[in-house]
Amino acid sequence: MSDARDLTAVACLLAAIACASREESPVAEAVQKTAAHADATTSAPPTTTVLTDFTQTVPGTAAKFTMIPIPAGDVTLPDPAGSSKTVTVQVGAFWIAQTETTWEAYDAFVYRLDEKWPPPGVNADAVTFPSRPYLPPDRGYGHDGFPAIAMSFHGAEEYCRWLELKTGKRYRLPTEAEWRRAWAVGIETSLWTTRAPDAPLSDLGWIRENSGAKTHAVATSRPSLTLLFDMLGNASEWCVGADGKPVTLGFCFRDPVTRQRFDADPRVAPSPAWNASDPQIPKSQWWLADAGFVGFRVACGAER
């Protein structure tokens, strides 16, 4: 008798399983949907944002420039603590200007050439404008189309702040890691890789060997990297260092540059000598009387 009851129980269990496995069963349908969702979640590639280049105009001015996307990746930096070690940091995707900031773009900030200031919704004291330069800031090298030079780190940062307010995009100076990432992205496809360690690089940028001791119009040499001009020479460029302090990267028109030297470290920390001859007391926070070799290019966060 007990054997019959056991057989009956087994039969009922098998029937229940068969019923649950049928397509019309609500339980089976829910299981199938869950499994299908899990499979799709597992097999689908992660969603990534693909950045594209864009041209930025500055409202109220004739200035415009091109922003080039740089994909995320790892970058090796000198140890910010000053030791001989290096550190590896991850850099998110971002945009960086194709060229150094030109005088046309910087003049709009210095001389308030935009049509109306302040823009609607911005308080009048939202931006501090620089003092008018007491020396020709372009040093006679050239103006329209040439890199803006001789501004302090503060002057470059405030320009980015003004540009952010004018455009609504997150403009700023690149970090040291971002600048090095931009360099690394294009280096494999540039002529850089064909040079011996001690060979001059005068065909890739305006450096001592070919500059005539002055800056040149942006984008008039071969690009140092894919689509990016003048990162090797022309003007050194203000960046935010790995330690959060101002630093310049890229060397300039007066530097003798070899691959060996650049690979060692293309960074120079600012010096009081860069403004030693400024006659003002206190010395200008906007202009560097003795640094006609320093400029900058802008960066933009991935959320623009």
Q: Which tokens go with 9?
A: 């129980």
User: Has residue 24 got a pLDDT over 60?
Assistant: no
132: confidence class by pLDDT, cuts 50, 70, 90: low
Whether pLDDT at 217 is above 70: yes
Distances 187 to 68, 182, 190 between C-alpha atoms, Å = 15, 9, 5
Owner of token pair 């990016």: 228
Identify the architecture of domain 54-301 in CATH.
Answer: Alpha-Beta Complex (3.90)
State residue 176 phi and psi, 5-degree precision. -60, -40
Helix (H) / strand (E) element for 87: namely strand 86-91
Whether the per-residue pLDDT at 246 is higher than 50: the answer is yes
Digit-coded pLDDT (tens) for 49-61 = 678 999 999 887 8
Mean of all residue pLDDT scores within the chain: 79
User: How confident is the model at residue 29, as a pLDDT?
Assistant: 39
Domain boundaries, the chain: 2-43, 54-301
**Does the CA dihedral 200-76-292-204 come out positive or negative?**
positive
Lookup: tokens for 235: 């003007």
Confidence of residue 23 (pLDDT cuts 50, 70, 90): very low
Closest CA to 186 of 216, 222, 210, 217: 222
- Higher-confidence residue of 118 and 153: namely 153
Which residues, 6+ apart, have CB-to-CB distance to 179 below 8 Å? 96, 231, 237, 239, 249, 250
For residue 18, CA distances in Å to 7, 14, 61 come to 16, 6, 75
Give the whole-number percent of the chain exceeding pLDDT 90.
Answer: 49
Query: What is the maximum span of the chain, computed from C-alpha positions, in angstroms?
Result: 114
Q: In terms of C-beta density within 10 A (0-12 exposed, 13-18 middle, 19 or more buried), how is residue 291 classed?
A: buried
Can you read off the two tokens belonging to residue 303? 């959320």
**Distance of alpha carbon 87 from alpha carbon 265, whole angstroms:** 14
